[in-house]
Amino acid sequence: MQIPPPPPNFPEMEQNALIPKARKLLDQVSDAIRIKHYSQRTEKTYIAWIRRCILFHNKRHPKDMGAEKIQAFISHLATGRIVSASTQNQALSAIIFLYRSLLKIDLDEAALNFVRPKKGKRVPVVLSRDEARAIIANMTGAHKLMVQVMYGSGLRLMECLRLRVKAMS
């Protein structure tokens, strides 16, 4: 299909202006995450980790990097930034999402599983019904209402904060 010439009343408009420009990598990541219906927080976090990885490798495109570069970034997080195992796993998941879902590049799984940090064993703290009631009884106003909704329905904090009155029925 041939692109028609620009209209005569717009002399500053170039013929190339009608051709859509290629989207930036992080915009493509955002689109891929939205297509998969991931949460807004996941989108924001994945984009931030992918950006950090690219900047760590002096703005090299991820296509030019492999498992060894990813391993170097995760190792930097563990040793240089001293972040927790769950934070390292989050960064690794974001980078793996980029390679699998957007770039369609298979990474060396053995090398990446070696890098994946292990979380420490921890027993979750669970309040008894009486303890939960005592905490809620000492609250007032909107915070009390939000805690009651979260406790009664099992909502997470951000799910509760995003509730709208018209969503309630």
Residue closest to 67 by CA, chosen among 96, 28, 29: 96
Query: Spelled out in words, what is the top-level CATH class assigned to the domain 25-115?
Result: mainly alpha
Chunked in runs of 10, what are the mean pLDDT values of the chain (169 residues)? 61 50 86 93 95 93 87 87 86 92 82 68 84 94 93 91 75
Cα(93)–Cα(87) distance, integer angstroms: 10
Domain ranges in the chain? 25-115, 129-167
pTM of the predicted model as reported, rounded to 2 decimal places: 0.62
Give residue 18's pLDDT.
52
The structure tokens listed for 63 are 């296509």
Give residue 5's pLDDT.
64
Give residue 168's pLDDT.
62
Give residue 145's pLDDT.
92
Cα(83)–Cα(94) distance, integer angstroms: 16
